[in-house]
Amino acid sequence: MEWLVPVAIVVAVVVIAGIYLWATYNSLVALGTRVDEAWSGIGVQLRRRADLVPNLIESVKGYAAHERVVLANVTQARAESLNAATPAEAGRAESHMQQALKSLFAVAEGYPALQASQNYLHLQSELVDTEDEIQASRRFYNGGVRELNIKMKQFPNNLFAKGLGFTEREFFEDEDAASVRQPPRVQF
């Protein structure tokens, strides 16, 4: 009978550790799923912007066809954005897209007839809305990544999270932080 108390203590510790491991695993799975969902939302918004860019280019091309370098840069930035698979690649593509759009809008400012075009104004408005959605999606994604990474780094989770197949996620950060502080200027 004397051996019953130590065995009960060991069983209780194992059960408590098992419950803790189970609950932590499930919370890491939930956080990882939220991060995946948020990344998907960013992809939707980037695709929406990429779909707007060709129409914007065509609008500008009608007025400023000789600005081939600027139009080619926007087209290249669009392709890079569509091909980005990781947050780091998307961050680099986002930086290039911001720079290309700044150049495009700078060219457009030199053409008053383009500035008055309803089609161009509508596309600008759609682009502004999409940029706002990208920023909101980015904040949601980065918030999820922050929560997941914190949970994985906290003790004692850091002892077994990687062993269970969880890895820290990358934040979606713009390679050029100045372009985030100064997004493309759109004038109506």
* Spatial separation of the C-alpha atoms in residues 42 and 132, rounded to whole Å: 11
Give me the domains of the chain, ranges plus CATH numbers: 26-181 (1.20.1440.20)
Instruction: Return phi, psi of residue 69, to 5°.
Output: -65, -45
Structure confidence by residue, pLDDT tens digits, 116-135: 888 888 888 899 899 999 99
Give 50-56's long-range contacts (Cβ < 8 A, gap of 24+).
50/78, 50/81, 50/82, 52/123, 52/126, 52/127, 52/130, 53/78, 54/78, 55/119, 55/123, 56/104, 56/120, 56/123, 56/124, 56/127
Which tens digit of pLDDT belongs to each residue from 18-69?
999 999 999 999 999 999 999 999 999 999 999 999 988 888 887 777 778 8
Q: Which two tokens stand for residue 24?
A: 């932590």
Cis peptide before 183 (omega within 30 of 0): no
Highest mean pLDDT out of 152-156, 176-180, 182-186:
152-156
Q: What is the pLDDT of residue 178?
A: 54
